[in-house]
Amino acid sequence: MAEKTDYAQIIESRRYPGKELMSSARFLVILFAIFALFIFIFTNVLIGVQVNGSSMEPTLYGGKMTASGRYYGGDYLFVNALATPDYGDIIVFHATSEISDNSELIKRVIGLPGDTIYAENGVLYRKHAGEADYRKVEEPYLGEAWTQTLEEYTVPEGEVYVLGDHRSVSRDSREFGSIPLKSVVGVVT
């Protein structure tokens, strides 16, 4: 008859308490590193914002204004702080006190550095830097007719020209000019 093996004794003889402690410490270090990476990404790369105000409607819902004059219930978005703004992108940028009481504004990029912009009876035209002819800017995101005329404006180097989608109520580059690229928080993803 075969001898009975005591598995509990074999397992106990192969246990190394030091290895268990190192395994637990390694797990906690990895867990902390993942948590720190998550916090870094969502505070420096993908930044959460909420839309307040109607300047980007109908594309983005800006919430409702309360009796105290504050908005609530607007769309929540993520902004990619590493992306470079391009035509048609929606960006968030730091506003100076002369522009707005809000610390950040959200608008659509219409012109990049060197572009010349003008509008005639609500039709927007853009001439890229170095080109001779203007091209009509297709704007399917506008929710209402826009009839304004804008004088030619050339976007300076290091700046972008921005407009809100709800042109009748939006305060944008028509009022305060182009904005520096260094004030751009990021591009809405």
pLDDT > 70? residue 18 = no
Radius of gyration of the chain (CA): 27
**pTM higher than the cut 0.95:** no
Q: Dihedral sign, CA of 117, 119, 124, 130? A: negative
Q: How confident is the model at residue 9 (pLDDT cuts 50, 70, 90)?
A: confident
Query: CA-CA distances (angstroms) from residue 180 to 10, 118, 133, 173?
Result: 71, 19, 25, 11
Q: Are 109 and 159 in contact (CB under 8 A)?
A: no
d(CA 83, CA 93) in angstroms, rounded, equals 13
pLDDT (0 to 100) of residue 84 = 94
pLDDT (0 to 100) of residue 172 = 92
24-36 mean pLDDT:
93
Span 50-65, pLDDT tens digits: 888 888 999 999 888 8
pLDDT (0 to 100) of residue 81 = 94
- Token pair belonging to 113: 């550095």
7-20 mean pLDDT:
72
- Catalytic residue, candidates 23, 54, 103, 107: 107
Q: Is 136 in the active site?
A: no
144-156 mean pLDDT:
91
- Catalytic residue, candidates 55, 170, 173, 178: 55
pLDDT (0 to 100) of residue 4 = 76
Phi and psi at 78, nearest 5°, equal -110, 140
Q: Is 107 in the active site?
A: yes
pLDDT (0 to 100) of residue 177 = 92
Task: Output 165 or 99, whichever has higher pLDDT.
Answer: 165
pLDDT > 90? residue 154 = yes
Burial of 115 (0-12, 13-18, 19+ CB in 10 A): buried
Q: For a pLDDT cut of 90, what percent of the chain falls above it?
A: 53
Span 98-145, pLDDT tens digits: 777 768 899 999 999 999 999 999 899 999 988 889 999 999 998 788
Name the average pLDDT for the chain.
88
d(CA 3, CA 186) in angstroms, rounded, equals 72
Q: How confident is the model at residue 90 (pLDDT cuts 50, 70, 90)?
A: very high
